[in-house]
Amino acid sequence: MAARCQAEGWGFHYACFGASRAANTRTLWRRAEALGVTLREDREIALRPLAETLAALQAFMARCDQLYLTLDLDVLPAAQAPGVSAPAAYGVALAQIEALAECVRDSGKLRVIDIAELNPRIDSDGRTARAAARLLHQLTLDAR
């Protein structure tokens, strides 16, 4: 995506909220830094007031005309989303992810939503699917 944006002369704006430094390679973190990706780690979101994280998200969105949102379910703690390929040892709570998603929704810039990482074969009690359904429901409500 970054290469295509560069080739077309478009701005590249990418944010990742909830990434785990422990679950990703140093190479990935260096690449994100080189591309100017807006990053907020899982621990950072959990330890700081939600208002700070929402402000960072709003600052990112202010630079964008349209938004494509991917909700990667393995950002949720394993207890809330066991049905993913890489359950999070730490993660970001559903309530916080929901608040961030609603902020994106309410921006008026959201054009595409996708939900990634749900694996029904290992989601034995449907907990992960229910979390995904709740997030999708909240994202598709009319902006308040």
Q: What is the largest CA-CA distance in the chain?
A: 47
Go through the domains of the chain in sequence order and give each one's CATH number.
Answer: 2-140 (3.40.800.10)
C-alpha of 26 from chain center: 20
Contacts of 30 (CB under 8 A, 6+ apart): none
Q: Is 58 helix (H, G, I), strand (E, B) or coil?
A: helix
pTM above 0.85, yes or no: yes
pLDDT of residue 141: 84
| Residue closest to 35 by CA, chosen among 57, 65, 4, 62 | 4
C-alpha of 27 from chain center: 20
Per-residue pLDDT of the chain (144 residues; tens, 9 = 90+): 899 999 999 989 999 999 999 999 999 999 999 999 999 999 999 999 999 999 999 999 999 999 999 999 999 999 999 999 999 999 999 999 999 999 999 999 999 999 999 999 999 999 999 999 999 999 998 755
pLDDT of residue 117: 96
